[in-house]
Structure 1
Amino acid sequence: MPEEPAENISGGEAGGGTAAMFEEGDAETRAEAVVDELGRLYWRKAYGGQDAFECLVRTILSQNTSDKASQPAHDELMTRYGPAKDLAETLAAADREAIADAISAAGLYNQKSKMIRGAAREVVSEFGGSEGFDAYVREEDPAAVRDRLLEIHGVGPKTADCVLLFAGGRGGVFPVDTHVHRISRRLGVASPDADHEEVRRSLERDVPAAKCGFGHTAMIQFGREYCTARTPACLDGLDACPVSALCDRVGVDPESGEVVDPVEATSGP
């Protein structure tokens, strides 16, 4: 397993965004209460403002790898191609093997280099380049933008949602990665057998739009620091977890130390 960073880059000091301000009050759902508690533990940020194409590239680089591995790949790619006038145009015309060399710190770099160059060519062909793509992501209907992003080879739901959140600043978007998927089902705020899309719909329904952005980034950090896949903090005692009072611990038995996927804990023999 790759080593995880001490801080979630998308939500931490280097992640951009501004402080998310909202009135404190009684949470209307357990999912909102969880997000409020994680916001107190980590950070509250409203996102938006990142360049949409660069955000797309960065999220592709993060697929199936950690921030610690994908960040150097992103930085090297930007060093080689970022100073150009239009990143999409430059990458669309770049040698695929040269892109792969630039992003070699990230996993699956040959596959990702094809995705990045293909996405760049599509952005240039349909939107005229990075600027037109950025305007499209920020200004058009979010549902339509999401559907269009999903048509780009290599772009899945989480990648599309990250572009909507971090570039478009769209409220009510709660990207679901492996941490969010695991934690939501373990907590009991989503069904044990929910897939990533079902978890996303549950969270976007139950968490106010203004809190979805920092809910996403804080839940990732919480998953790395406390609610890990194999050894969640509650195994050391319920007091070891800051949200234990809000958690059903589906698939986790602190007494026996057994930890299974939530769907296994609720399935019949």
Structure 2
Amino acid sequence: MSEESDVDPVDASGADEPAVNISGGEGGGGPEATFDPGAADTRAERIVDRLGALYWQKTYGGQDAFTCLVRTILSQNTSDVASQPAHDALIERYGPDDASSGRGAASTDSNAAADLATALAEADRDAIAETISSAGLYNQKSRMIQEAAEWIRSEFDTAADFDAYVKASDPGTVREELLSVHGVGPKTADCVLLFAGGREGVFPVDTHVHRIGRRLGIAPADADHEGVREALETAIPGAKCGFGHTAMIQFGREYCTARKPACLDGPEACPLADQCDRIGVDLVEETVVDPADAD
């Protein structure tokens, strides 16, 4: 079912992450979220409020569901630095005709040119792999993307119909449907629900969120990705899950990295020092282990 991995994106790509999280910020969709940091009911909510003030405070939704699905598949096991150009190249080659931008689908069929799912389902898989080669694992990802496109054509007819389904249907049902698709794991399904569906209470867990939730002590130290997701979605109000997800990713890139969290340079180096249990981090010995391996 899932082709997702716990590999740290920086380790997988060898490149630094960008200064901003491409999946969030101004491009995340939706209006600005409002909240009162002084009214948090749980430590997890206080942490998200702090992160929201540090980075961004947006609600999410409004992205096209199939495009979001493709973008998230491309991001698996790699960094935004590598996956974003692959996504742009794919849309440039197979996206709907747009006379103003010069973009057009590879197929000459007018229906295929009007629908990304149709264009990708009918495309040569080797050509898709070549187009997304910067994202890594391009043969595997080209298969996932094409099979997802074929699934959408079979089940929903068009990408637009799939988008309407994601936005209007029960989120639990949508999640189950997405998880039935080869290459779609929990994080990918949750990203589609969040960024395309705009569903409150969805907190996708990637390798950064998995590490930080357990290191902070707001999720069990031995929790798997689903366990961290359940802990965060239980403790954090639904309206704050979207920006909590993107801001926690950015915090993991800038401060709470896997090998050298900022707290090793002293509590003043981390904006969450007073809220963190530092599970797996020994400030005296200056060592870091996975929270599940901590004493």
The answer to whether structure 1 residue 240 and structure 2 residue 269 are counterparts is yes
Question: Is this contact kept in 2: 1:2–1:65, CA < 8 A?
Answer: no
Structure 2 residue identity aligned to 1:214: F
Name stretches of at least 5 consecutive residues in structure 2 with no aligned partner.
Answer: 1-13, 97-112
User: Residue in 2 aligned with 1:101?
Assistant: 130
Please, which of 222, 225, 233 is the counterpart of residue 251 of structure 2?
A: 222
User: Residue in 1 aligned with 2:61?
Assistant: 48
Please, which of 76, 95, 117 is the counterpart of residue 63 of structure 1?
A: 76
Runs of 4 or more consecutive aligned structure 1 residues displaced over 6 Å after TM superposition: none
Structure 2: distance between partners of 1:141 and 1:15:
22
Structure 2 residue identity aligned to 1:56: L
Give CA deviations for 1:29-67 in whole Å, capped at 9, x if unaligned.
111011000001000011001000000000000000001
User: Residue in 1 aligned with 2:108?
Assistant: none
Structure 2: distance between partners of 1:61 and 1:98:
15
The answer to whether structure 1 residue 135 and structure 2 residue 135 are counterparts is no
Alignment of 1:15-54 (within 5 A): 15-54=28-67
Give CA deviations for 1:83-141 in whole Å, capped at 9, x if unaligned.
23100011010000010011011010000000000000000010011011001100110
User: Residue in 1 aligned with 2:155?
Assistant: 126
Alignment partner of 2:166: what SS?
helix
Relative to 1, partners in 2 of residues 1:24 and 1:249: Cα closer, same or farther, differing over 3 Å? closer
Structure 2 residue identity aligned to 1:130: A
Give CA deviations for 1:158-202 in whole Å, capped at 9, x if unaligned.
000000000000000000000000000000000110000000000
What's the TM-score, normalizing by structure 2?
0.89
Query: Which region of structure 1 is more displaced relative to structure 2, 18-27 or 83-92?
Result: 18-27
Structure 1: distance between partners of 2:284 and 2:33:
38
The answer to whether structure 1 residue 180 and structure 2 residue 193 are counterparts is no
Alignment of 1:141-160 (within 5 A): 141-160=170-189
Structure 2 residue identity aligned to 1:59: T
Query: Which region of structure 1 is more displaced relative to structure 2, 3-12 or 170-179?
Result: 3-12
Paired residues, number:
266
Question: Is this contact kept in 1: 2:37–2:50, CA < 8 A?
Answer: no
Question: Is this contact kept in 1: 2:263–2:273, CA < 8 A?
Answer: yes
User: Residue in 2 aligned with 1:76?
Assistant: 89
Quote how far apart the aligned CAs of 1:253 are. Answer: 1.0
Structure 2 residue identity aligned to 1:115: M
Structure 2 residue identity aligned to 1:4: E
User: Residue in 1 aligned with 2:21?
Assistant: 8
Name stretches of at least 5 consecutive residues in structure 1 with no aligned partner.
Answer: none
Alignment partner of 2:278: what SS?
coil
Question: Is this contact kept in 1: 2:33–2:57, CA < 8 A?
Answer: yes
Quote how far apart the aligned CAs of 1:10 are. Answer: 1.1
Structure 1: distance between partners of 2:175 and 2:269:
38
Quote how far apart the aligned CAs of 1:24 are. Answer: 4.2
Question: Is this contact kept in 1: 2:37–2:46, CA < 8 A?
Answer: no
Structure 1: distance between partners of 2:178 and 2:15:
28
Structure 1: distance between partners of 2:37 and 2:274:
19
Structure 1 residue identity aligned to 2:294: A
Structure 2: distance between partners of 1:214 and 1:255:
33
Structure 2 residue identity aligned to 1:69: A
Structure 2 residue identity aligned to 1:176: V
Query: Which region of structure 1 is more displaced relative to structure 2, 145-154 or 21-30?
Result: 21-30
Structure 2: distance between partners of 1:67 and 1:15:
14
Quote how far apart the aligned CAs of 1:18 are. Answer: 2.4
